Structure 1
Amino acid sequence: VSITVSSNHQNSLNLRLQLTLIIVVAIIYVYQWINADDERLRRKRFGKKMDLLEIRILELRSNGVVIDQAASLLMTAKQQGYRNLDYGEELIASAEEEIERTLSFSDDVDEIRADTEKFLKEAEEIAIEIKKPGNLFKAGLREIEFGSLREGEMLFRESKKKSQEIIMWWEKAQDAIVLAKNMLGERETLDLNQLSEILSEAKKLLQSEEPKKAYAMASTIPLQLESTDLAMAKAIEKLEQAQKAMKSTEGLNTEDLFNRLEKAEKAMHSGNQALVSGISDGIIREIESERAAMDDVLRALKQKKHLIQKWKDRDDKSEWDVKLEQIELAAEDLSWTHALKLLSDLTKELDGQSQIKTEVIELLEYLKEQWKILRNQCEASNMDMTDSRFVEIDGTMSEINDKLEAGMYEKCFLQLSHVDKAMESLRREV
């Protein structure tokens, strides 16, 4: 009986276990069935989104809108989206955003293109020959066709910028070049090579479709010509002053001055106002300098007796005569500035000699007074007045007077020094 009861109990447990297992399996199956149904719905919705997006892309492309990036994202979504719905839906969203961004940017580019085209037409009406703005515009259109909206926009903006420059500056540059050309033509006799080169460069800039730079360069020419005219007027005034000064050159050496004046006149005809002014100023200064030197030298030569008087009794009289003769020769050659220089050197040297003579006389007079006192002291001391030193001092004093008259001042100083030493020797014996 006990064995039977135990067997029944075991069977009951097995039955319960089987029922539990069946229930668990059923629950799992139901969950998987429900979840699988949700995935099917997501895939279905994902597929519809892709279909709608693909249709939209085809429509946009048929209207000429380039959306390669969005199409590429859609292709990736098709290939990988069903295996990973989250990633696929993310790609679809990115593609839609790219389409919206492209459409928005495309609208902006269309506005820029229309605006650029308006300026381009106006610029081409002003200057038919221009190429750069049109080429930039065409390049922008090509970039748009290839889907490079940003590059296209940049090219449109550059084209507009060039067109605006043409509109604003082309006619101004042309007028400035014509004005500069006419002003230079009125001055054909002048040497204006530098300004002609500037005009040529301005023309090249205009041909290169750089009207603003061309205008800036050409417009400087009238200003420089005005400055040149003013400088030339001053140079002509200087030249006239030089010509007038040349009429008052009597007694001057004018050969070189006339050569320089002729050179200044040629420089005036060639438009070299700086050279005209420089030469004319030099002529005027030299005439004034030479005339002043001539007056000083002639005045001194009229009084040459007074000059000769200063050295006529000197031992080196011949040397001073030679110096005076050199001054006279320079005056005969009309080299007045040189003659004045020699005269100035002569007078300075004479003044120096006169100063030395004064010093010798002062020292001689002083020693004479001292000798007179010392001689009396020696007599009072009963010294032998026949001493050779007394005779020597008296004789030297007399020689100094003679040499002083002869202008031998250096020897005078030596003998005065000798007298002073001899007197000092006598003082020690008094």
Structure 2
Amino acid sequence: MVLPPDHADRVIATQRARVEKVAMLGTLVLIGSAFWWLLPAIDGSVEMLPRLGPVLGIFAAGLLLMDLIDHGPVERARLAVIACIAWPLSLAMAVDSAGSGDRALAAALLIGVAAVLLLYSREALSVSLPSRRLRGFGGLAGAALAAAVLASLGTELTMAGAVVVAAVLPVIPDLTAKDDDHEARQSFGVALEAAEAEMLTLRSKNSGLEQAASLIKQAREEGWKKPARGMVLIEEAEREAERIMAMAIDINAIRADSLAAVERSEAVAVAAVGPRKAFQMGDREAGHGSLREAEMLFRLAKTKAATIEEHWQAAVDSISTAEAAISEHSGAAADSVRGILAAAHEALDAEQPSEALHIASSIPAHIESLAASAGDAKSAINDAELAISAAEGELALRNADRLTEAKEAMAKGDAPLAKGLADSITREVRETTEAMQEVQRALRQRKQIIAGFPSGQAGEAWAARLEEAEIQSNAGEWTFAAEALRTLTSDLQAFQVQMSEADELLSFVQEEWIALRRRLDSSNIKADDSDRIAAENAVKTAADAYEAGDVQSCLAALGRADELIENLRRRV
């Protein structure tokens, strides 16, 4: 059987409703009892005041009956406090009701009620020291109320005193109880007073103890609740104060050392203000009591001053030397070196002399590279002039303008551009000259090349390619002509290889066909046979294609002829 998810809640709600009904019934019964008890006083049969106290007690019990249903921590505490106050009152009422007969029974019942209330209050309020003290104050209030009730009822002084003593004796241990940290709290209080007195003395003589004072304040706020934590904070405050005092002694020596370094750096570089600025900031932080920050700033000022003292003059000299060297050069390459020099100036202005020295030290190597590039460019221009002077015709005229551009670039100081132009001129002249010589050698062998051409239309295509190469050479396009002749020669060699292979295949097929025809005649396969006619035509087509230089058609016809010959051979 599967229960619904809210089955437990519904069962609890049902049970609670039943208990509440019972509690309501009990409350009504108590109220009815109080009314019954008060009824004789209403019609004047008895005095009202003696009966009013029990009635109020019954009404209070009716109201507290609902706390027995929930009976949570708050309800238990409320019931326990009421029990602390009520049990002395019950005891006082028992003393007042003492006598013989029914009065003795009533007194015994009230004493039993007082005992139950006393036991419940001591059990419910015995967990911690605050609960015990609450129990003590509640019992003390109950004793006071009991004394007032006994005095109003005119009880004998001896009996009243006995009741008050009996009510006060159980609460004395509760009121005088101390927790486990009582001794630690006393020790903390003594240590706190001593630490505060010492801190006042130290702060009157020195600054920078704000952190230690803050720890003392935190110890005062937390230590009364947690004495161990408070003692730890006091110890930390004492250590912090000792460290600050020791640092205050050392900071003077650090400051003097930093000041000496700053003054030496100012003697080397008057324009450098970084070390002095850092030193002044350190003085300001020391005046505010921030000794750690002051120490860091003093050390920073000393470091900057040492760097300036060591590298400043060397950086200035290196930059001056580089400026003098670069002034002799011009052009785009020299401008790039001037950019490096500007970076060195910026580093020096930023008071980074070591970086400025590093940058300026690399400039001589760049200048040497400029000189080497200029020498290479001049040599390349000379080679280009020699190449152009040895060239002829259009080649010399076409490259003369580029040589002029190279010389202009050299005059402007752009050695890499000048060298590139000159090298390109030399390379073009050399390649063109070599191509011209190659073309001239090939054309001198024109007859040998033509002899390798096939006859027919294929030969005309080869001749057209040779003629195109001649036209390019006559136009001075030697490079294109050389490339055309190289391609022509390579293709012609490949064609001749193919023709040789086709010739071998054709000879083989023709020999096979001649031998097969004799066998066909003897086998009575006449010349008018369709397969024989087809084979004869295929062999003839292959021979005609070979004579025309059509290698692909020749090979295709030979393949067809071989297939037909094989078919005829099977018929023999």
Give TM-score scaled by structure 2 length: 0.55
- After the TM superposition, which of the residue ranges 349-358 and 214-223 deviates more from structure 2? 349-358
Which amino acid in structure 2 is aligned with residue 324 of structure 1? L
Which amino acid in structure 2 is aligned with residue 160 of structure 1? K
- Residue of structure 2 aligned with 1:295, choices 419, 432, 437: 437
Contact 1:314–1:407 (Cα < 8 Å) also in 2: yes
Q: What whole-Å deviation, never above 9, does each CA across 1:70-113 have from its counterpart, x for those lacking one?
A: 9979x99xx9xxxxxxxxxx999999987765553333111112
Contact 1:314–1:408 (Cα < 8 Å) also in 2: no
Counterpart-to-counterpart distance in 1, 2:456 and 2:565? 29
Q: Secondary structure at the residue paired with 2:457?
A: coil
Counterpart-to-counterpart distance in 2, 1:364 and 1:92? 118
Shift of 1:412: 3.6
Q: What whole-Å deviation, never above 9, does each CA across 1:319-377 have from its counterpart, x for those lacking one?
A: 33321221011101221121122112222332233223223321222233223322333
Counterpart-to-counterpart distance in 2, 1:57 and 1:419? 124
Contact 1:190–1:269 (Cα < 8 Å) also in 2: no
- Residue of structure 2 aligned with 1:367, choices 485, 505, 509: 509
| Partner in structure 1 of residue 412 of structure 2 | 270
| Partner in structure 1 of residue 427 of structure 2 | 285
| Partner in structure 1 of residue 314 of structure 2 | 172
Q: Residues 98 and 256 (structure 1 numbering): CA distance in 2 closer, same or farther, change over 3 Å? A: same
Q: How does 1:98-109 map onto structure 2 within 5 Å?
A: 102-109=244-251
Contact 1:260–1:279 (Cα < 8 Å) also in 2: yes
Q: Residues 169 and 393 (structure 1 numbering): CA distance in 2 closer, same or farther, change over 3 Å? A: closer
Give TM-score scaled by structure 1 length: 0.71
Q: Secondary structure at the residue paired with 2:390?
A: coil
Shift of 1:409: 3.7
Shift of 1:426: 4.6
Q: Residues 428 and 201 (structure 1 numbering): CA distance in 2 closer, same or farther, change over 3 Å? A: closer
Shift of 1:186: 1.4
Q: Secondary structure at the residue paired with 1:192?
A: helix
Tell me: higher relative CO, structure 1 or 2? Use CA pairs within 8 A at least 6 residues apart.
1
Counterpart-to-counterpart distance in 2, 1:283 and 1:329? 25
Q: What whole-Å deviation, never above 9, does each CA across 1:124-152 have from its counterpart, x for those lacking one?
A: 11112222222222222233333333332
Contact 1:169–1:211 (Cα < 8 Å) also in 2: yes
- Residue of structure 2 aligned with 1:249, choices 363, 388, 391: 391
Counterpart-to-counterpart distance in 2, 1:402 and 1:56? 126
Shift of 1:187: 1.0
Shift of 1:163: 1.2
Q: What whole-Å deviation, never above 9, does each CA across 1:294-341 have from its counterpart, x for those lacking one?
A: 111111111212222333732344333321221011101221121122
Q: Residues 106 and 301 (structure 1 numbering): CA distance in 2 closer, same or farther, change over 3 Å? A: same
Shift of 1:400: 5.5
| Partner in structure 2 of residue 112 of structure 1 | 254
Is 1:161 aligned to residue 303 of structure 2? Answer: yes
Runs (5+) with no aligned partner, structure 1 = 1-42, 80-89
Q: Secondary structure at the residue paired with 1:247?
A: helix
Shift of 1:178: 0.5
- Residue of structure 1 aligned with 2:402, choices 260, 273, 284: 260
Is 1:308 aligned to residue 450 of structure 2? Answer: yes
Counterpart-to-counterpart distance in 1, 2:362 and 2:475? 52
- After the TM superposition, which of the residue ranges 391-400 and 112-121 deviates more from structure 2? 391-400
Contact 2:439–2:482 (Cα < 8 Å) also in 1: yes
- Residue of structure 1 aligned with 2:382, choices 240, 260, 263: 240
Contact 1:400–1:412 (Cα < 8 Å) also in 2: yes
Counterpart-to-counterpart distance in 1, 2:285 and 2:566? 119
Q: Residues 391 and 169 (structure 1 numbering): CA distance in 2 closer, same or farther, change over 3 Å? A: closer
Counterpart-to-counterpart distance in 1, 2:498 and 2:316? 82
- Residue of structure 1 aligned with 2:334, choices 180, 192, 209: 192
Which amino acid in structure 2 is aligned with residue 135 of structure 1? K
Q: Residues 104 and 354 (structure 1 numbering): CA distance in 2 closer, same or farther, change over 3 Å? A: closer
Percent of matched pairs sharing the same residue: 31
Q: How does 1:19-418 map onto structure 2 within 5 Å?
A: 60=205, 66=207, 102-189=244-331, 191-250=333-392, 253-311=395-453, 313-381=455-523, 401=543, 403-417=545-559
Shift of 1:66: 4.0
Q: Residues 153 and 359 (structure 1 numbering): CA distance in 2 closer, same or farther, change over 3 Å? A: closer
Counterpart-to-counterpart distance in 2, 1:276 and 1:396? 68
Greater Rg, structure 1 or structure 2? Answer: 2
Runs (5+) with no aligned partner, structure 2 = 1-189, 221-231
Counterpart-to-counterpart distance in 2, 1:261 and 1:236? 12
Shift of 1:410: 4.1
Counterpart-to-counterpart distance in 1, 2:530 and 2:213? 140
Counterpart-to-counterpart distance in 2, 1:315 and 1:53? 120
Contact 1:69–1:98 (Cα < 8 Å) also in 2: no
Contact 1:70–1:96 (Cα < 8 Å) also in 2: no
Contact 1:297–1:339 (Cα < 8 Å) also in 2: yes
> RMSD across aligned C-alpha pairs, in angstroms?
4.2
Q: Residues 410 and 163 (structure 1 numbering): CA distance in 2 closer, same or farther, change over 3 Å? A: closer
Contact 2:330–2:413 (Cα < 8 Å) also in 1: no
Counterpart-to-counterpart distance in 2, 1:417 and 1:311? 24
What is the number of residues matched between the two proteins? 369
Contact 2:453–2:462 (Cα < 8 Å) also in 1: yes
